[in-house]
């Protein structure tokens, strides 16, 4: 078996007295696609920085295959020191890299190559960092939250771009659909240690739950053993002059193991305060239009939002999703048309920028409004520390200023404050930003049980599929059409995602095509050759056979007694699995490239 391109073994790191990583391993082989998952604050980004060589561990070993090229995408890219976007992207290229690829990526991401980095928004800076990471076609890509600040067209473009690469990848993301579509290996970072599952993210949650159930069973057995030993200490030495010191030492070890075991942190418990039911009709819009500075945002929109509806507003950045929310909630007036809101409405608005959180105010005062240490939830008074614990806050964090919290903690605090307020209409503007997978799961369950109406904006396709009952989609030029079901249902009815509207709402014009004299530029063929057509027909069968082969090898290697029984056979099977995975990746990449060529030729 070929050695991994990156191999981290027994990585340990401590920040401020608390261990972040204790015995973390990470091995990335050629062509592997790993997703690194874990709760907010578990150390995922730190482990990725250690893999990239940006942070040095306290102990452990880091190996990088000589000559392997590694590119790292940080959560917060730094473009300072560069005069233009093109200069920033080209600084990541090696002399042997194709400069046309940098131009092409900048254009595909809707950026101007001559734009000054200081004038870019957060989303545009993120796109520039993506272009810099992808342009060299590296051996290993380390991507930390690559979908942050991206809209749905950009997310779908990125997914297709990454699928076509041969590079090995390690991806940290809260976008479950992206992880399901791209990953083939899952690495779970939990309480400072890593566990590896040789399957994609689609199998992770069931596996994680099984592991945690087994841990709880073992912990229960340990507690029962301690009870038995304590019973012996108290009552089993009545007729003896002295106690058996060996058993006393074993009892002390058991107690120490029980005390020092790093248990799974508490689960998020969301309780939603609901007001009296609203009227049957919550919001009715008839022939509504709105324009800003001559640009039409909404044109002749009519819709009816009923009690318990879950309407998702989707579209590219700049399409007018927030404008739709503001119109429906009465924050701005339409230029024409009428919007009627139902009776007895008690709305709660959760905004993505979290501007309503005062960074100088304490967490406790943010929840209670500065009135004591209790908060009313669903008509019952609860101590603020107990309520914060439901959202994974430690007791000492109640006195901390909001400005000291991480992005994920601020998101949970805003949820805690909003859900403690009685409502029958929830308006959620990007509610999934910075939420870890466990919190997302709980939020989705409670939104499903919410007796009121939900109006939401999100770029998370999986979240939309699980929550929305209808989707209001931007069709460009101010046209909005409502589709029944979630995001996948909208795509099925519409025949496409939202990328077709992308050109109409870009904030910046598409960069001009690079001159034909740029080295390495490949002209697209007008049609497929006979050999390529034949490959397009036969590759699906080859892919199915490789998938079956990988499944059989995984089943063989899953036998814990295999290595002891037949070590040579185990090594042969492992090598065959690696080869089959590489062949599958190559076959899928070839099929995707040919399919794209076929579609382009037909157009």
**pLDDT single digits (tens) 275-332:** 555 568 899 999 999 998 788 999 999 999 988 889 999 988 878 888 899 999 988 9
pLDDT one-digit tens code per residue, 390-407: 777 888 888 888 887 776
pLDDT band per the 50, 70, 90 thresholds, residue 159: very high
Tokens 């309520």 -> residue: 387
Of 37-51, 488-502, 575-589, give the range with the top mean pLDDT: 37-51
CA distances in angstroms from 390 to 266, 437, 496, listed in the order given: 8, 16, 40
The continuous run of DSSP H or E covering 253 comes out as helix 245-260
Is beta strand 6-15 parallel, antiparallel or unpaired with respect to 347-350?
Answer: unpaired
Note the pLDDT of residue 333. 92
pLDDT one-digit tens code per residue, 193-238: 999 999 999 999 889 888 888 877 777 776 776 666 655 555 454 4
The continuous run of DSSP H or E covering 86 comes out as helix 85-90
Of 159-163, 247-251, 256-260, 441-445, give the range with the top mean pLDDT: 159-163
Q: Is the dihedral of CA 401, 403, 409, 414 positive or negative?
A: positive
Residue 76 pLDDT > 70, yes or no?
yes
Q: Comparing 173 with 222, which gets the higher pLDDT?
A: 173
Cα–Cα nearest to 553, from 591, 590, 586, 584 = 584
Cα–Cα nearest to 470, from 340, 310, 593 = 310
Residue 88: phi and psi, rounded to 5, are -65, -45
What is the number of helices (H) and of strands (E) in the chain? 19, 20
C-alpha to C-alpha distance for 566 and 571, rounded to whole angstroms: 9
Cβ atoms of 550 and 573 closer than 8 Å = no
Residue 141 pLDDT > 80, yes or no?
yes
Note the pLDDT of residue 239. 41
C-alpha to C-alpha distance for 571 and 573, rounded to whole angstroms: 5
Opening angle at CA 426, ends 425 and 432, nearest 5: 165
pLDDT one-digit tens code per residue, 550-579: 888 888 877 777 767 887 887 788 788 888
Q: What single string gives the DSSP state of each residue in 435-448? A: --HHHHHHHHHHHH
Note the pLDDT of residue 131. 92
Size (the chain), residues: 603
Note the pLDDT of residue 237. 47
The continuous run of DSSP H or E covering 171 comes out as strand 168-172
- Which two three-digit tokens encode residue 465? 């599929």
Average pLDDT over residues 326-349: 89
- Which two three-digit tokens encode residue 291? 């324009």
224 burial via Cβ count (<10 Å: 0-12, 13-18, 19+)? exposed
Question: What value does the mean pLDDT of the chain take?
Answer: 80
Note the pLDDT of residue 240. 44
Residue 114 pLDDT > 80, yes or no?
yes
Tokens 């001159």 -> residue: 515
* Alpha-helical runs (H) found in 97-203: 99-108, 122-134, 152-164, 176-182
Cα–Cα nearest to 101, from 47, 56, 167, 150 = 167
Residue 476 pLDDT > 80, yes or no?
yes
pLDDT band per the 50, 70, 90 thresholds, residue 351: confident
Q: Count Cα atoms within 13 angstroms, Cβ side, for 461.
A: 23
Q: Is the dihedral of CA 533, 535, 537, 540 positive or negative?
A: negative
Spell out the SS3 assignment of 185-210.
Answer: EEEEEECCEEEEECCCHHHHHHHHHH
Spell out the residues 6+ positions from residue 237 whose beta carbon is closer than 8 angstroms to its own.
243, 244
Q: What's the chain's Rg over C-alpha atoms?
A: 28
* Alpha-helical runs (H) found in 296-436: 321-328, 363-368, 384-390, 407-419
Note the pLDDT of residue 590. 79
């Amino acid at each position: 078996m070929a050695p991994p391109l990156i191999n981290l073994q027994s990585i340990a790191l401590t920040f401020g007295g608390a261990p972040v990583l204790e015995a973390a391993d990470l091995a990335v082989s050629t062509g592997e696609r790993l997703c690194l998952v874990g709760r907010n604050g578990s150390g995922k980004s730190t482990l990725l920085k250690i893999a990239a060589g940006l942070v040095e561990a306290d102990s452990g070993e880091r190996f990088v295959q000589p000559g392997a090229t590694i590119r790292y995408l940080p959560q917060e890219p730094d473009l300072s020191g560069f005069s233009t976007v093109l200069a920033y992207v080209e600084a990541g290229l090696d002399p042997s890299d194709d400069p046309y690829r940098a131009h092409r990526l900048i254009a595909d991401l809707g950026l101007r190559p001559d734009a000054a980095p200081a004038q870019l928004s957060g989303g545009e800076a993120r796109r520039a960092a993506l272009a810099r990471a992808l342009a060299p076609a590296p051996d290993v890509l380390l991507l930390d939250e690559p979908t942050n600040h991206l809209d749905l067209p950009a997310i779908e473009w990125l997914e297709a771009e990454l699928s076509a690469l041969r590079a090995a990848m390690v991806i940290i993301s809260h976008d479950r659909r992206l992880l399901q579509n791209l990953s083939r290996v899952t690495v779970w970072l939990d309480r400072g240690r890593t566990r590896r599952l040789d399957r994609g993210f689609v199998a992770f949650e069931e596996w994680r739950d099984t592991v945690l159930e087994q841990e709880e069973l073992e912990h229960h057995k340990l507690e029962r053993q301690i009870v038995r030993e304590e019973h012996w200490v108290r009552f089993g030495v009545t007729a003896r002059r002295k106690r058996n010191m060996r058993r006393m030492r074993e009892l002390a070890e058991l107690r120490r193991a029980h005390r020092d075991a790093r248990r799974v942190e508490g689960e998020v418990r969301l309780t939603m305060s609901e007001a009296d039911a609203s009227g049957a009709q919550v919001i009715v819009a008839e022939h509504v239009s709105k324009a800003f500075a001559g640009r039409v945002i909404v044109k002749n929109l009519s819709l009816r939002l009923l009690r318990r509806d879950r309407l998702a507003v989707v579209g590219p950045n700049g399409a007018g999703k927030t404008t739709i929310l503001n119109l429906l909630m009465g924050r701005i007036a339409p230029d024409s048309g009428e919007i009627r809101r139902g009776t007895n409405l008690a709305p709660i608005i959760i905004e993505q920028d979290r501007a309503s959180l005062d960074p100088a105010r304490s967490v406790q005062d943010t929840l209670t409004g500065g009135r004591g240490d209790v908060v009313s939830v669903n008509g019952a008074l609860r101590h603020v520390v107990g309520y914060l614990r439901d959202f994974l806050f430690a007791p000492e964090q109640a006195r901390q200023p909001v400005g000291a919290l991480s992005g994920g903690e601020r998101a949970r605090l805003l949820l805690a404050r909003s859900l403690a307020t009685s409502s029958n209409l929830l308006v959620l503007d990007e509610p999934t930003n910075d939420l870890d997978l466990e919190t997302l799961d709980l939020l989705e369950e409670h939104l499903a049980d919410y007796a009121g109406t939900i109006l939401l904006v999100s770029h998370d396709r999986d979240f939309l599929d699980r929550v929305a009952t209808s989707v209001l989609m931007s069709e460009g030029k101010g046209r909005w059409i409502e589709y029944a079901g979630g995001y996948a249902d909208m795509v099925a009815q519409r025949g496409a995602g939202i990328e077709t509207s992308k050109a109409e709402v870009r904030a910046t014009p598409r960069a001009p095509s690079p001159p034909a004299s740029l080295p390495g530029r490949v002209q697209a063929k007008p049609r497929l050759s006979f050999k390529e057509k034949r490959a397009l027909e036969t590759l699906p069968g080859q892919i199915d056979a490789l998938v079956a082969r990988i499944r059989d090898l995984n089943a063989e290697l899953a036998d814990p007694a295999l290595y002891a029984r037949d070590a040579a056979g185990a090594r042969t099977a492992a090598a065959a699995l690696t080869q089959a995975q590489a062949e599958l990746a190559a076959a899928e990449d070839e099929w995707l490239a040919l399919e794209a060529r076929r579609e382009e030729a037909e157009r």
